[in-house]
Structure 1
């Protein structure tokens, strides 16, 4: 199947919207566990391990994917699965959810810098405008003129999450038509579980907290409920929908729709956690989203491989 025929805008937009809504709740549902005393690495491990357990049958059914595309599976587990989640949750433990997510969404800006500096690809004037706006918006969001009121380590962790997030779009577009995105996510979550397990040491997790009630939006729910939501909806469903959107649209369009994740996170953080941005920070958020949106849509798409190569790859499909 040729690349153009793989693009399908209606279903792609639906997948992109679903991914944005699912991803947007991750920080909000992680916050009760963090506030209860659970370490951010423990919460991250619970998230990816829950997704790995849920997707284990998929990995078993598509075991040939790991044999054919080992580097893709490894990279997906290290960067989008383990890297983004660990750095983002570590940031959320130090700074508000909305600010952490907005900083992470500077990923498209980093994609442009990578294309320009590493691949020496020419970028459009619109891309430069997007970068300038995104950086200016970050300054407003962090209120740098007031001496950086936010935790500097938290901001640095969120920027690290932005770097890892940039790989999500690049890796998603590199999958061939013969590679099932859900299989890549399944194996990626297994890789992330093993990698983060060495750091989080799951045997030290205070498992009793999962049975204790934790506050969420004025209610008290058992700790296992947000943990289950993180693994099922915010990880398994969110990543599958995100990769499916990229394959049906493009990294640029899917990334643009993904900015609804920011709106979802800010609204949920305000309603459920009582975290509100100042007027200046709201202005900075709007400037960041505008700049990053422009930067995302200015990223040149990867050239499609010849149709005969696509057909040859398809014959190796399990």
Structure 2
């Protein structure tokens, strides 16, 4: 088995684990939102706690190579300002004007943006298998989220904010996929989350977005627990672990393929909502999940020798070729309650997820 094949297999494993981890946020953040928390407050603390959890590990991983963090300063700024904070802020703004399902559907069009980006920057049209895989995956996304998301929105500004969230999500994958240059994924995730949480906190403090907390106990899977219990769980699993895994996977797979793998988040979110929250899982959603898997398989099947290589992927480095590297989540969500964007919280009742 070649180095490229091995790294891609590992990348797919990390990508699936990241999508599964991001998908847990909806089930654990929803109780907080129902008890009076605003999405912005929940996601700010979520990112902040995750950063604190990762910082000791990040410091150890950077021992003797702090210069790597300085070299990656623009990448860190992009992750914190766009991948963590900016994407979620415009996603929140879209939720104030259009249905959650519509906002989710638009945001998760990010893979199509990346397919188009590679097409434009390399001036090489994607192979038919990639186009077919893209269509199949997006149709699956529509089935999982709900066909009602199509045409449900009428507010132009809301659609614009959702489109910005899609761009932010795409940029998140591009930033995550860029060569690490010696910066460990855990250090990159910790610094990006720390910066993003600070920015979100400032935005909330000045009143640009609703920022409300509640200290009362919350109902979690039939039991009353302290408010910090679900917050810590989602910070550790749905944020810290999810971001590190997502960044590692993006570096191995490249931005385009990882963005398609990220669609599994909505599938896992629907399954968890069914298991943990008792929300019905319909036949259409099951078919949609199968379609997303098929789309990912089709995109992955494109032969690297005949197609543009993914920016920053290990496959690219293993073959010794040079690909165009672009400048550059996510959001985790829940269904029909309200969610944030890729890396964030939710309040939806349609599948949600994170991330970005």
Query: TM-score if structure 1 supplies the norm length?
Result: 0.75
Aligned ranges 1:83-122 → 2 under 5 Å: 83-86=86-89, 104-117=107-120, 120-122=123-125
Greater helix proportion = 1
What is aligned with 1:316? Answer: none
Which position in structure 2 is the counterpart of 1:301?
310
> Over the residues paired in the alignment, what is the CA RMSD in angstroms?
4.0
Correspondence list, 1:1-318, <5 A: 8=7, 11-58=10-57, 60=59, 62=62, 63-86=66-89, 104-117=107-120, 120-134=123-137, 136-137=139-140, 141-143=145-147, 148=152, 159-201=163-205, 205-207=211-213, 209=214, 211-251=215-255, 254-255=258-259, 257-276=261-280, 279-280=283-284, 283=287, 286-287=290-291, 290-291=294-295, 294-295=298-299, 300-302=309-311, 303-304=316-317
SS of 2:317's equivalent in the other structure is coil
Distance in 1 between residues matched to 2:231 and 2:35, nearest whole Å: 13
Given the superposition, is the C-alpha separation of residues 136 and 156 from structure 1 closer, same or farther in structure 2, using an over 3 Å criterion? farther
Change (3 A) 1:162 1:282: farther
List alignment gaps of at least 5 residues for structure 1: 310-318
Residue deviations 1:121-176 (CA, integer Å, cap 9, x gap)? 42112222234345555665553598528999877665544332222332222123
CA contact (8 A) 1:33 1:43 kept: yes
- Structure 2 unaligned residues grouped into runs of 5+: 303-307, 323-356
CA contact (8 A) 1:110 1:163 kept: yes
Change in 2 beyond 3 A, CA 1:147/1:107: closer
Q: Choose 59-68 or 105-114, whichever is displaced more.
A: 59-68
Change (3 A) 1:150 1:174: same
CA distance in 1 between counterparts of 2:296 and 2:206 reads 36
Following superposition, the deviation at residue 81 of structure 1 comes to 2.1
Larger mean CA deviation between 146-155 and 230-239 belongs to: 146-155
| 1:13-62 deviation line (CA, Å, top 9, x unaligned) | 44333222211112222222222221111112111111122223345553
Q: Secondary structure at the match of 1:304?
A: helix
Deviation at 1:74, TM superposition (A): 0.6
Partner secondary structure for residue 218 of structure 2? strand
Q: Look up the SS of the partner of 1:72 in the other structure.
A: helix
Measured against aligned partners, the alpha-carbon deviations of 1:95-131 in whole angstroms (never above 9, x if no partner) come to 568x866654332111112222455342112222234
Indicate conservation of the 8 Å contact 1:30/1:89, yes or no: no
Does structure 2 retain, via aligned residues, the 8 Å contact 1:109–1:296? no
Q: Which has the higher contact order (CA 8 A, sep 6+)?
A: 1
Tell me how many residue pairs correspond in the alignment: 303
Cα pair 1:79 1:167 within 8 Å, conserved: yes
User: TM-score of the superposition, structure 2-length normalised?
Assistant: 0.68
Report SS of the residue matched to 2:188.
Answer: helix
- CA distance 1:306–1:138, change in 2 (3 Å): closer
